[in-house]
Amino acid sequence: MAKLLFRLRNVPEDEAEEVRELLQSNDIEHYETKGGNWGISMPGIWVRHDADLERAKALLADYQSERAERARQELAERQERGEAPTQVQMLLDNPAKALGVLVVVGAILYISISTFFRF
């Protein structure tokens, strides 16, 4: 029976492609499901045979630790060159989103606190 190995929701396409290549290069039979028209189904990569599942999980764990290390190194290099975005830069890049978040947070705080101060 097929088992879910890797969820694809919110996964960058390059990472998904690298996982597919990893499974193919190690002769692990797998298939992929999509999120459907409305995105409510589970997009993922499934291993066809139970016997391959543990080996696939081990390969995936190794791959993810290597990818995390690469990402840390790239971030460190970008920070050394002064290219990594700061929080202020990210807010300035998308001020509408920042303002929207502040409005929602303010509304939640108002609703939460105002019940205690009603006379």
Instruction: Count the domains in the chain.
Output: 2
Q: Is there a single domain that holds both residue 46 and residue 19?
A: yes
For the stretch 40-55, pLDDT in tens is 888 999 999 999 999 9
Q: Which residue range is the domain that position 11 belongs to? A: 3-84
Between CA 2 and CA 13 the distance in angstroms is 23
CB-neighbour burial class of residue 46 (10 A; exposed 0-12, middle 13-18, buried 19+): middle
For the stretch 12-40, pLDDT in tens is 999 999 999 999 999 999 999 998 888 78
Nearest to 63 by CA among 18, 27, 30: 18
Q: Is there a single domain that holds both residue 60 and residue 95?
A: no
What are the phi and psi torsion angles at 6 (to 5°)? Answer: -150, 120
What percentage of the chain exceeds 70 in pLDDT?
99
CATH, residue 8: 3.30.70.1530
| Strand partners of residue 7 | 44
Cβ within 8 Å of residue 42, ≥6 positions away? 4, 7, 9, 33, 35
Q: Is there a single domain that holds both residue 80 and residue 27?
A: yes
Q: Is there a single domain that holds both residue 48 and residue 70?
A: yes
User: What number is the average pLDDT over the span 63-88?
Assistant: 90
Between CA 23 and CA 16 the distance in angstroms is 11
